[in-house]
Amino acid sequence: MNLQAPKGMNDILPDEIGRWHRLEAAFRSTVELFGYSELRTPLVEPTQLFVRSIGEATDIVEKEMFTFDRGDESLTLRPEGTAGAARAYVEHAVHGREPLTRWYYLGPMFRAERPQKGRYRQFYQAGCEVYGDAGPAVDAEMIDMLVRWLERLGVSDVTVHLNSLGAGGTRERYRAALVEHLAPREASLGDDSRRRLVTNPLRILDSKDPRDVAACEGAPSILDVLDDADRAHFAEVRRLLDRLGTPYVVDGRLVRGLDYYTRTLFEIRATGGELGAQNALLGGGRYDRMIGELGGPEVPCIGFAMGLERVLLAMPREPLAAVPTVFVAPLGDRGLAEGMVLARELRELGVRTELDGRRGSMKSMLRRASSLGASLVAIVGDGEVDRAVVSVKDLAAHAQADVPRADAARTIAGQLASKGAPGGA
């Protein structure tokens, strides 16, 4: 049997995980500085949650969800994090406890997309949600936080695309204006877009099909149909971003693939790097109607979600510093038992320690120690046990000396630390 990971789903092997850990830690520490706390929700939710929040006529709901039945319940592997977070917010009546809530999450999402570089069926998102702030300061703060954070990670070649979808009836008004423009051009649209003309015409603006791009030429911009309040909100977001010195481009064509957005909408794209076509690092915006639509009170919200694989592709690769390691090489029965005790003592002092208990030859153990990049080898044979010492070999310095067994762990930890490595007591 040829067993492989499911299509579009990847293993992350230990030689890659260091970059993931660094990225995740950098994300957590940054958003926590802004007052966000972590939320963890189930990886599966009732299917209806996604249908109602993301929207029936979106690609995600139409064809990308991993849905299964369990008893008489239809469940779906979460394709994104906002819907589950909103469900939790309503379910736990969080609005009754605090007027303003800042949550972040980090974890795998699932979409049955056609896999390619930067696009997978299981991928990781990190995101934030703010509940209870109608903005526009929080909109600008979020965008500024993300741009500065990406810069610190070494991803400085980014463009912020900014749009407003309006609140209230703006979207509906615009939909009508767009259909009026596209209907006479229907015959020249691609198949998907012809269907979308009825189900979800705004998505046609997102299409990369050259026929659709041509048909959209000269279409009205949503920014032209905003009402006064939408316009004032958008102007204020822009004024604050200008003051913060965070560049953006106003992009009236930006719609993104989810139906729940209102007013501010943004996407940050990488301009260089290894990303290729899938160059959207993150997307976000306001969704002021979702909490009400899920049965909660009217609470304005804004959030974003970032694809961690894409950020990793855009980030420069830096060599990983090796973690200083002690290798314990036991020889003989008593040596093995004593070596295990020594290894435990070293680990209790915080020293990374690997013991080779395979009863191999000294030569093979030294080979293993050097391939691991261990700094020190602690040799514990029956002879050392008799003399109450441990023989410590410094691989780089080609030096070897006995140290008294009684305080060997502390001595070895000190030697490791003096080589410029962490790990002492």
* 293 Cβ neighbours under 8 A, 6+ residues apart: 52, 53
Angle, helices 408-418/333-348, rounded to nearest 10 degrees = 60
By CB under 6 A, which span of 92-100, 116-124, 135-143, 217-225 interacts with ligand AMP?
116-124
CB of 174 to ligand AMP, least distance (A): 20
Tell me: does residue 339 bind ligand AMP (CB under 6 A): no
Task: State the minimum distance, in angstroms, from the CB of residue 333 to ligand AMP.
Answer: 53
Q: Does 20 bind ligand AMP (CB under 6 A)?
A: no
Name the residue whose CB lies closest to ligand AMP.
Answer: 307
Taking the least distance from each CB to ligand AMP, the nearer of 282 and 377 is: 282
Distance in angstroms (rounded) separating the CA atoms of residues 260 and 282: 16
Can you give the three-state secondary structure of 349-395, one letter per residue?
CCCEEEECCCCCCHHHHHHHHHHHCCCEEEEECHHHHHHCEEEEEEC
| CA–CA gap between residue 363 and residue 365 (Å, rounded) | 5
Binding to ligand AMP, residues 52-111 (CB under 6 A) = 80, 111
d(CA 320, CA 1): 37
- How far, in whole angstroms, is CA 335 from its chain's centroid? 46
Residue reference for tokens 């295990």: 340
Q: Where are the alpha helices (DSSP H) in 34-186?
A: 47-54, 59, 82-91, 137-152, 170-182
C-beta of 408: minimal distance to ligand AMP in Å?
49
Q: Is 166 in contact with 227 (CB distance < 8 Å)? A: yes
- CB nearer to ligand AMP: give 85 or 258: 258
For the bound state, the minimum distance from the C-beta of residue 294 to ligand AMP, rounded and expressed in Å, comes to 18
- Min dist CB 245 to ligand AMP, Å, is 24
Closest to ligand AMP by CB, 120 vs 327, is: 120
Q: What is the DSSP letter of 323?
A: P
Least separation in angstroms between CB 81 and ligand AMP: 8
Report the residue number, 110 or 327, with the smaller CB distance to ligand AMP: 110
Options 68-76, 146-154, 205-213, 303-311: segment touching ligand AMP (CB under 6 A): 303-311
Among the listed residues 54, 140, 282, 355, the single contact to ligand AMP using CB under 6 A: 282
**CA–CA separation, 153 vs 240, rounded Å?**
24
| Bridge partner residues of 109 (DSSP) | 123
Residue 197 CA to residue 166 CA, distance in Å, equals: 20
Stretch of 158-166, 244-252, 277-285, 381-389 lying at the interface with ligand AMP (CB under 6 A): 277-285
Binds ligand AMP (CB under 6 A): choice among 132, 135, 201, 283: 283
The tokens describing 332, both together, are 């003989």
Q: Does 171 bind ligand AMP (CB under 6 A)?
A: no
Q: Which stretch binds ligand AMP (CB under 6 A): 153-161, 190-198, 223-231, 302-310?
A: 302-310
User: Residue 405 has what DSSP assignment?
Assistant: S
Rule CB under 6 A: which of 222-261 touch ligand AMP?
256-258
| Least distance from ligand AMP to the Cβ atom of residue 341, Å | 48
Q: Which residues bind ligand AMP (CB under 6 A)?
A: 80, 111, 113, 118-120, 123, 125, 256-258, 280-283, 305-307, 309-310
